[in-house]
A and B are shown apart, each in its own frame.
Chain A
Amino acid sequence: MAIWMRKALISTAVRSLRTAFASHRNPVFISRSFGSSQQLEPFSTDDDYDDHDHESLDFPGGPVSYSCEMRFLPGSSEKRVQCYRVLDDNGYPLSSTQFQHVNKEVAVKMYSGMVTLEAMDTVIYEAQRQGRISFYMTSYGEEAINLGSAAALSSHDIVLPQYREPGVMLWRGFELQDFVNQFFGNKNDIGKGRQMPTHYGSNKHNVITVSAPLATQLPQAVGAAYSLKMDKKDACVVTYFGDGCSSEGDFHASLNFAAVMEVPIVYICRNNGWAISTPVTEQFRSDGIVVKGQAYGIPSIRVDGNDALAVYNAVAAAREMAITEQRPVLIEALTYRVGHHSTSDDSTKYRPVDEIEHWKTSRNPVSVFRKWVQRRGWWSDEQESEFRANIRKQVIHAVQVAEKTEKAPIGYMFSDVYEKLPSNLMEQEKLLRETIKRYPQDFPKDVALGI
């Protein structure tokens, strides 16, 4: 796989440079210095062609050849690692890109999933602003990462999300009503009203419940992959995280563990440029996250996260590699966080409004993909307006239903702390119920006392 991708990245300018040097130099030298080694460039050296190349020294970890030149590996290369892209800004496939086509069914499901996600975000954000729910996090700008990656996975692959990946759940069949129930924490919430909005999870859909502290899912993902490896399942683990999250200690240890233990796991980093108000320039000094994979011995790729087909292709290939070779793979999807970090954030306070507008309009992943799907004849303007109106109605309806549903009952406060309710919790529950009985006017009416 790697070879055809490398070829695709060589531009015409570079090709002519190659031919210019062909007669004078060792062909190996050319392919190392130009084009194909872009992704490896920061760490490749000229030592192989050095006249002062010496035989290897034996050290723990393997033989190492030595050099008489004192050469420091540069901290970063002049050129950033290139990103893999399939569609251009207008939704036309780039001429030299090789990619797997998706069929109509998948493409339409991907596109409608992206629109659904957008619609859900819009309605629920408004609902939060109206005071109907307490909190929400939108995924504006990251719809392609959500649906593009979800479409490339099998339902057996275990997903450990960070929190900005509801599209994965949508793809796998988690209903809008289930989402909205979770946001309202009502008695029909699969999570039993215990977590904040957008901290969803579903056993049935192989998506592990979101945990708020950053990066906790990363070592857990290695554990889940380890369990898949023990059971020799034909599945992998996919875990998502953001650019800010890559600063956490758990990120580094997780990549390290995954490489050492040789487990089937695909890491997908949503590098959206912002960690609340911290831009990536203040988060790390490396060239994004893709170069970090190599430090741990993990094959890595950078993709255009706003290009649904690029994401789809990369994830499909990574998944294949992870399962057949039983190893971790890292994907860095470059994108932009169009929305605020959450409803508790106003991002106009730390970034220019026109920057946000630019990404919202001219670099919008949903519109790019729409253009491609429509051009293939699988979608139309009429379908678009009909679908959008319909889905908006559906979300609003789900909100109305969820709002009227009773809140999670008192019993849910105490159950599932342990496998079985222990005596001290039984006592505490009894005390609470007695208190409520004695002072009913002081307690909310919409909480069921049953269960």
Chain B
Amino acid sequence: MATIFQRIGAATSLSYSIDTKTSRRSLSERKASFVVVRSDATKINTGLNRIGGRVDHLITNAVATKADTLAASTASKPGHEVLLFEALKEGLEEEMERDARVCVMGEDVGHYGGSYKVTKGLAPKFGDLRVLDTPIAENSFTGMGIGAAMTGLRPVIEGMNMGFLLLAFNQISNNCGMLHYTSGGQFKIPVVIRGPGGVGRQLGAEHSQRLESYFQSIPGIQMVACSTPYNAKGLMKAAIRSDNPVILFEHVLLYNLKETIPDEEYVLNLEEAEMVRPGQHVTILTYSRMRYHVMQAAKTLVNKGYDPEVIDIRSLKPFDLHTIGNSVKKTHRVLIVEECMRTGGIGASLTAAINENFQDYLDAPIVCLSSQDVPTPYAGTLEEWTVVQPPQIVAAVEQLCQ
């Protein structure tokens, strides 16, 4: 069954259920830019002709070059439908059942179930000690997680909003990333630091931070960004199992995405990018929420006769230069679409990395669409203009492919 794009009216990103009927009614509403993707068991499909208004096949769970059995599994079994925050919870719960050392700590994660309900139901199930409500001191509970990790536990540290983790920067950069190295390999820090970030719906500048740009330099940590329920669960599990400290970036507006995910267990690779839509004309690299803006733009582009290849890079540190490189070698044109600021964002680093490694394969300079170097304004219209929108993406591709 083909995937359906549905537009949802402006609402908070906290729990509300998505119903086919309601959403179809709201198709006419223009205000929202929050897209819900529903996909049933999809197959890896290349080169589907979309002229004439048919909707895309959104390949949410294919992995490009490597013959991966994981993608195939979605095609074979029916699976179950979840929202993204539930997928995260499933991943977390499965890992907590599997390994008694896994524990969660953060503000309001216990009986409240977490501000975005990712830890709902875990405290009654696993007890207060394994799902720990901490007082409000981000640097300190991050430090606590690091101390617990060095003495044998595997904590999952939740920042209520990624922006608050700026308070934890000292512990994350000086200790989390470093102590394995500075101790001569004696102490390892298998923590997962996760939380929602990105530009939300009028949350103001302090709650709309893109921490991936600040953290990307820290040696010793890994960073991944999830964007679909499928990869959210897979990445959560992979992050917990990794012995390195991993920062898992979630997005405030993506928690209610609905998707059917496999019933059987699966773990994704932390360092792999995801091929969302294979194509020939241009490589569009993106991650997290911008993936959906890109796919929206892709729809328009296809109608105009372009064939964009869309890759969700997923792994922000390190970059999956293998997948990205293969794509660049095929299309020779790169467009990066990100939510970070222009200066010092993921796009900036990715541009440098591609230029360094694949200079010869580029037919045109890399174009990077990012947010402006401004704090995110509260006013809705202003906020919308700081985030890259589909028409900008379409225009950029048209320019790039001239």
Contact = CB atoms under 8 A, between A and B. Distances in A.
Contacts of B222: 418
Interface in B145-197: 145-153, 155, 170-171, 174-175, 178-188
Nearest to A190: B184
Contacts of A160: 147
B318 A423 contact: yes
A395 interface: no
Nearest to B138: A253
Contacts of A335: none
Contacts of B141: 219, 253, 257
Which of B139, B179, B184 has the most C-beta atoms of chain A within 10 angstroms of its own C-beta?
A: B184
A213 B143 CA distance: 12
A191 interface: yes
A202 B186 contact: yes
B395 to A, nearest CB: 33
Given A223-B155, A249-B139, A213 B174 contact: yes
B269 to A, nearest CB: 13
Interface in B51-66: none
B359 interface: no
A209 B147 contact: no
B350 interface: no
A125 to B, nearest CB: 23
Contacts of A192: 184-185
Interface string A190-227: 11101100010111000011011100111111111111
B72 interface: no
B185 A253 contact: no
A22 to B, nearest CB: 45
B184 A189 contact: yes
A219 B186 contact: no
Contact of A220 (B134, B175, B182, B219): B175
B150 A219 contact: no
B216 to A, nearest CB: 12
A194 B338 CA distance: 36
Interface residues of A, number: 50
Nearest to A255: B140
B4 interface: no
Nearest to A203: B186
Contacts of B155: 223
Interface in B99-140: 103, 129-130, 132, 134-135, 137, 139-140
Interface in A390-428: 415-419, 422-424
B242 interface: yes
Contact of A227 (B135, B152, B184, B188): B152
A202 B153 CA distance: 18
B244 interface: yes
Given A253-B140, A423-B318, A424-B318, A224 B188 contact: no
Contact of A221 (B147, B186, B187): B147
A388 interface: no
Contacts of A231: 152
Contacts of A209: 179, 182-184, 186-187
Interface residues of B, number: 46
Contacts of B373: none
Nearest to A260: B135
Given A192-B184, A194-B181, A222-B147, A249 B137 contact: yes
A249 B175 CA distance: 16
Contacts of A225: 147
Nearest to B191: A223
Given A208-B150, A230-B103, A257-B137, A223 B143 contact: yes
Contacts of B142: 219
B396 interface: no
A341 interface: no
A229 interface: yes
B153 A230 contact: yes
A227 B140 contact: no
A41 B271 CA distance: 59
A250 interface: yes
Given A229-B129, A256-B137, A422-B318, A219 B143 contact: yes
A395 B185 CA distance: 26
Contacts of B318: 422-424
A407 B63 CA distance: 44
A275 interface: no
For the complex of A and B, 9 pairs with smallest distance between CB atoms: A223-B147, A220-B147, A219-B143, A253-B137, A253-B140, A223-B148, A223-B144, A209-B183, A219-B140
17 contacts: A195-B183, A201-B183, A212-B174, A213-B170, A222-B140, A222-B147, A223-B150, A224-B147, A226-B129, A230-B103, A249-B139, A250-B143, A252-B137, A254-B144, A418-B180, A419-B242, A424-B318
